[in-house]
Amino acid sequence: MSDNTAIAHGAHDAPGDTHSGGHEAHPAYLRHHFENVEQQADAAGFAMWLFLLTEIMFFGGLFTAYLIYRNWYYPAFVAASHQLDIFWGTLNTAVLITSSFTMAMGVWCAETRKQKGLVLSLVLTFILGLGFLGIKTVEYKEKIEKHHVPGFHYSLQSFINPQSDAKIHEEYPNDQPLATDMARHTEVYFSLYFAMTGMHALHMIIGIAILGFMIYRAQAGAYTAGHVTFVENFGLYWHFVDIVWIFLFPLLYLISRHQ
């Protein structure tokens, strides 16, 4: 940091390579208050990680609630999680992991200045993100039809009388009917299910909106001229949203599959 004499040579070294020795002589994107490009990229990256830390704390509240209520109302949580469709959940996990891959490709393309590759990767990520939300809609629709949305004429039928729910009963024939007071606690499960997946979906929607903006800018040639901080940081955000789902999927869908 002490050396602020910028040496102008090799004005096109890869920006990802922060220790290459030569600085660009004041590229246009270097904001006035930074000494050099490395410091600027360093600060932006660090800020993004801190922001993700706040996001962890945000979701942390929900995970805490899940942990507590799962311990309290174990049978209700098992029965309620049997209502979730493993097929759609698995498919969505695959969709989301693939979108993380395309996003990583996007970052790589930006760093190596491949404009077409960047636009393609971003568009793919955009489509996969929308695909995830589409699948989520299918799942939500089923919950609405079964009156499993808390607060809206919530129905205990599937839990008091498992036979009435033919499809689930076929899949989990050993599920015993729950007593009414325990069955009522499935509403807590679905409260958490909607709060957690809803907050996750909200993050996806924000991400997709930003992706749209990035595709527009990338087509105009942004991000592939050396200044890749925005793409890198958005990549971190996207992977974070992915990781949240990686925790949600087993906790909501898988953990009670064999109980």
Partner 1 sequence: MSATIINLPDQSTARIPKVNYLTKENGLLSWLLTGDHKRIAILYLVSITFFFFIGGAMAGLIRLELLTPSTDLMATDTYNKVFTMHGVVMIFLFLVPSVPATLGNFFIPMMIGAKDLALPKINLLSWYLYIAAGIMIIYTMATGGVDTGWTFTTPLSTHYVNTNVLTTGLGVFIAGFSSIFTGLNFIVTIHKMRAPGMTWFRLPLFVWAHYAASILMVLGTPVLAIAIVLVALERTIGIGVFDPTKGGDPILFQHLFWFYSHPAVYIMILPGFGVISETISTFSRKRVFGYTAVAFSSVAIAVFGFFVWAHHMFIMGVSNYAVLVFSLLTMLVAVPSAIKIFNWTFTLYKGSITFETPMLYTFGFMGLFTIGGLTGVFLGASGTDIHLTETYFIVAHFHFVMVGGMLMAFLAGIHFWWPKMTGRMYPEKISQLAAVVTFIGFNFTFFPQFILGTLGMPRRYASYPPEFQVLNVFSTAGATILGVGYLLPILYLTWSLKYGEIAGDNPWQATGLEWQTQSPPLTENFLVTPIMDHEAYDYEWLEKQKEKEVTSVG
| Residues at the site binding partner 1, with contacts judged by CB under 8 A | 1-2, 4, 31-33, 35, 39, 42-44, 46-47, 50-51, 53-55, 57-62, 64-65, 68-69, 72-73, 76, 149-152, 184-185, 187-188, 190-192, 194-195, 199
End-to-end CA distance of the chain: 58
SS3 label, residue 8: strand
CB nearer to partner 1: pick between 128 and 231 = 231
Close Cβ partners of 258 (under 8 Å, ≥ 6 residues apart): none
Token readout for 71 is 């311990």
Nearest CB to partner 1, comparing residues 43 and 104: 43
Q: Which is nearer to partner 1, 63 or 108 (CB)?
A: 63
* Shortest CB 61 distance to partner 1, Å: 4
Nearest approach, Cβ of residue 185 and partner 1 (Å)? 4
Please state, in angstroms and rounded to a whole number, the distance separating the CA atoms of residues 132 and 207.
12
Backbone angles phi, psi at 8, to 5 degrees: -90, 95
CB of 52 to partner 1, least distance (A): 11
Closest CA to 154 of 76, 71, 66, 258: 76
Where do we find the tokens 């997709």?
208
In the complex with partner 1, which residue's Cβ is closer, 76 or 118? 76
Calpha distance 206→200 (Å, rounded): 10
Task: Name the minimum Å distance from CB 131 to partner 1.
Answer: 26
User: What's the min distance (Å) between Cβ of 127 and partner 1?
Assistant: 29
